[in-house]
Amino acid sequence: MSGADGGSFAEELALAIEVADRCDKVTLAGFGSASLRIDHKADRSEVTEADRGAERAALELLRSNRPDHAVLGEEFGTDGPADSPWRWIIDPIDGTSGFARGIPIWATLIALEHADDGLAVAVVSAPALGRRWWATRGGGAFTSAFTSDGSARACQVSTIDTLAEAQVSLAVNQGWHDLGAGLRLEEWALGARRSRNVGDFWQHCLVAEGAIDVAVDAVGLAIYDVAAPRLIVEEAGGMFTDHTGAPSHAGPTAVSSNGTLHREVLNVISG
| Per-residue pLDDT reduced to its tens digit, 88-104 | 999 999 998 889 889 99
Instruction: Kindly calculate the radius of gyration of the chain based on its CA atoms and give it in whole angstroms.
Output: 18
Q: Which CATH number fits domain 163-270: 3.40.190.80, 3.10.20.740, 3.40.1110.10, 3.90.550.10?
A: 3.40.190.80
**pLDDT at residue 3 in the model:** 46
CB 123 within 8 A of CB 16: yes
pLDDT in tens, 149-175: 667 899 999 999 999 999 999 999 999
Please give the Cα distance from 265 to 215 (Å, whole number): 10
Q: Which CATH class is domain 7-139?
A: alpha beta
Please give the Cα distance from 264 to 271 (Å, whole number): 11
Phi, psi of 41 (to 5 degrees): -80, 180
146: left (phi over 0), alpha (psi -120 to 50) or beta: left
- Share of residues in the chain with pLDDT > 70 (%): 90
Q: Domain locations in the chain?
A: 7-139, 163-270
Across the strands, what pairs with 143? 133, 153
pLDDT in tens, 260-269: 999 999 999 9
What does the mean pLDDT of the chain come to?
92
CA angle 251, 240, 124 (to 5 degrees): 80
